Amino acid sequence: MTNFPNFKDRFSLHYFIYSLPLALIAGLCFWVNTFYVYKAELAFDITVEKPGHIELFFDLGDGQNYQSIQTVKLEANKRTRVIQEIPWEGLKILRIDPNSNTGWCRIENLTLANHTDIPIQTLKLEQFRAYLGISNIEYMDGSISLQITDGDPMMWVDYDFTQISKPNRDLFSATRYTIVLILTTILVSFIGHTLFGKVFSQIGLGVVAWLIFCPGIYTPDSIWQIEQAMENQYSDWHPPTMSILIHYWLKIGLPVAYLSLFQAILLFLGLYYLYQAFWSFTGAETKTRTQQIIKDYGILVLTIILTSPISPLAPYSVTLWKDVWFTVSLLWMTVISLYAYQVKTKGAYKHTKLLSTVLVLVSLVSVEFRHNAIVVLPVIAIILTILLKKERWISITQVVLLALLFTTPFITGRIISHLYPVEKSNPKMSMMSLELVGLLVLRPELMKTFPNTAEHLDNQYAENFQWAGYRYLKWPEQYGNPIVDENYLTQDNFPSIQEEYYKALRLYPFSLLRIKLTNYLQLLNPMQTIEWVTIGISSNNFGLSFNDRFQSTRKHLNDIYDFIILNNVTRWISGVHLIYLIITAAIIATLIYKSIIDKSLQPLYLAAIFTTTLAYYLSYIIATVWTAFRYMYPSTLIVQHLLISMLIIWLTHTFHRANGNNTPNG
């Protein structure tokens, strides 16, 4: 007869805690009732022959009851941009009605986008019906020309919205979420001790972050990469791989909002598995129930600390940035490295080779998101050498993986340029131009040596110049006074900039090194933190805007973030990279010393893992053109995570000793 565990054995109060994030999700959805904002944005350009006006109507009824929502005055032969927010739920007819006095009328670039769920294909103008009295209709390059010839006809452009699919409100009903609340609380309470339960809870925290900032955070860089993805036309100013992946994400029919959710889930899962991998790597034991509880609670405490306003992780995790994608890659590289060493120590060489291969692939992917991440590859090579070293000096697998590691980054760029339309925008120009101008600020006597740069300088260039301030150079109208004229930072002038930069590199290498270090120190400056948290969605043609239901929540969070980063005490906790860089260097030195004293390979291996974060910190010495906090945050996040994990492990050891037991191994 099978003995089933009784309720008391299966249900544990402390595992009930794991259901709280899921309960929070259910409660939020109960309150919101839907993920969607039932609004849409209509945008178009209009040009008319004679002065007049255009009126916009909509119908939420049976298609016969129009209501006016906006009247726009128009000047003759002047293109006017019209943007109007309109109701989405229940919308039947939308009408654009120029008055008859305007003569001919041309409507262009007409789009309609839902605010929350980015359309895979924006509604094109040919989907609209044009009703005219006496007129001609001409389609030209995606726009429609409405030409009134004579008379006083009624003229409008409208679209029947009954055929547009809308989110089903019933799917997100309060009743269903009440059921979800009850079931998930009970379910996770029973399975909290299982891997599934813990992972499910961790995912819940990521979903909560996404719900608050739904549909995600999108900066101008994010919007530009989405535009490239939708048009399937790319630029190499940012690594095009990210835009290409977004293109296929949209092509299979998934909204970009779900992409920000997906990256947040991957990031939070990475935090969970890094905690588990580091705990196992240290060999820390949990001999008592209390120790096990501390370990189980530890990951929740760690994640809650990192997602609290004391850290920028919550909004960062749902921001569509290449930095976030690299953070996810670096997290999983660290996880795989820790697990691979444990597999090696158990003698499972085949599994070690498999994990080493996965590590190489993830490392190569990370370089495609952040080109300066290439400095991490030599450290990964050291990790591979330790993992794959057997009795003989080198193995065939090691040779193949190392060759793949160091050759692939130089091949993928050419392959991508061959397969996809990638415009050459010469991103090196930002570094070269900034450092050339900096060189002439330091040494104005070199004007004749670098005539191209010199002739484009403003008279007040030295006073206006900012170290690590390429934006001041590129966009003076937004950031300050002009430093160079508008013809300097052009693609036509790039060959001259490149020629002068290589000349400076040959003749004045130490001056350039000084400039690089000066720019780098601006990024590390502990007295300032630039763009610590970015909460917003840049203007776009996709209808992306925040869910109104959480507007007050985001405002309060933004106020808290501002307080923390402006406070002279709290900003040092998670707003200063220099602290964590120094801690990382100190840990590496300590581990190397311990490895030498103990003649043990494990501390050396852990030192190599920490060196990946240090290498990324130092990669910005090569080129620092701006001082945004997010640049170094991938390294800082991992170091913060490992420091908190060390503290939790130390607490379990301390508790064990306080109860008169022997200290666990590790």
- Give residue-wise pLDDT tens across range 509-562: 999 999 999 999 999 999 989 889 989 888 887 778 887 777 778 888 888 898
pTM for the structure as a whole: 0.76
Q: 325: pLDDT confidence band, cut at 50, 70 and 90?
A: very high
Residue 120 CA to residue 251 CA, distance in Å, equals: 7
Residue closest to 118 by CA, chosen among 247, 256, 20, 304: 256
Question: Residue 290 has what pLDDT?
Answer: 74
Q: 491: pLDDT confidence band, cut at 50, 70 and 90?
A: very high
| pLDDT tens-digit map of 591-624 | 999 999 999 999 999 999 999 999 999 999 998 9
Burial grade of 293 (CB within 10 A; 0-12, 13-18, 19 or more):
middle
Average pLDDT of the residues in 350-371: 93
Residue 606 CA to residue 278 CA, distance in Å, equals: 10
Q: Say yes or no to pLDDT of 429 above 70.
A: yes
Q: Say yes or no to pLDDT of 349 above 60.
A: yes
**Pairing, β 135-140 against β 143-148:** antiparallel
Question: Residue 152 has what pLDDT?
Answer: 37
Question: Residue 664 has what pLDDT?
Answer: 43
Question: Residue 147 has what pLDDT?
Answer: 38
Q: Say yes or no to pLDDT of 8 above 50.
A: no
Q: Say yes or no to pLDDT of 579 above 90.
A: yes
Kindly report the backbone phi and psi dihedral angles of residue 424, in degrees, each rounded to the nearest multiple of 5, phi listed first: -80, 115
Which ranges constitute the DSSP H helices of 428-508?
428-442, 451-455, 461-464, 470-474, 476-479, 494-507
> ∠432-319-516 over CA atoms, to 5°?
20
CA distance readout (Å), 292 to 192, 194, 301, 335, 522: 13, 13, 14, 21, 44
Q: Say yes or no to pLDDT of 471 above 70.
A: yes
The number of residues in the chain equals 666
Residue 546 CA to residue 80 CA, distance in Å, equals: 26
> ∠204-210-211 over CA atoms, to 5°?
90
Count of CB atoms situated within 10 Å of the CB of 282: 17
63: left (phi over 0), alpha (psi -120 to 50) or beta: left
CB 116 within 8 A of CB 174: no
CB 450 within 8 A of CB 490: no
Average pLDDT of the residues in 319-337: 96
Among 96-105, 281-290, 350-359, 467-476, the minimum mean pLDDT is found in 96-105
End-to-end CA distance of the chain: 42
User: Percent of the chain, pLDDT > 70?
Assistant: 72
Question: Residue 111 has what pLDDT?
Answer: 64
Q: Greater confidence, 621 or 665?
A: 621
Residue 664 CA to residue 280 CA, distance in Å, equals: 12
Question: Residue 168 has what pLDDT?
Answer: 37
Question: Residue 56 has what pLDDT?
Answer: 74
Average pLDDT of the residues in 408-436: 92
Residue closest to 69 by CA, chosen among 111, 45, 97: 97
Question: Residue 215 has what pLDDT?
Answer: 86
Among 97-106, 119-128, 367-376, 527-536, the minimum mean pLDDT is found in 119-128
Tell me what the pLDDT averaged over the chain comes to. 78
Q: Greater confidence, 432 or 149?
A: 432
Q: Say yes or no to pLDDT of 45 above 60.
A: yes
Q: Say yes or no to pLDDT of 178 above 80.
A: no
Average pLDDT of the residues in 10-14: 46
Q: Say yes or no to pLDDT of 99 above 70.
A: no
Question: Residue 11 has what pLDDT?
Answer: 42
Average pLDDT of the residues in 196-211: 76
Average pLDDT of the residues in 239-259: 90
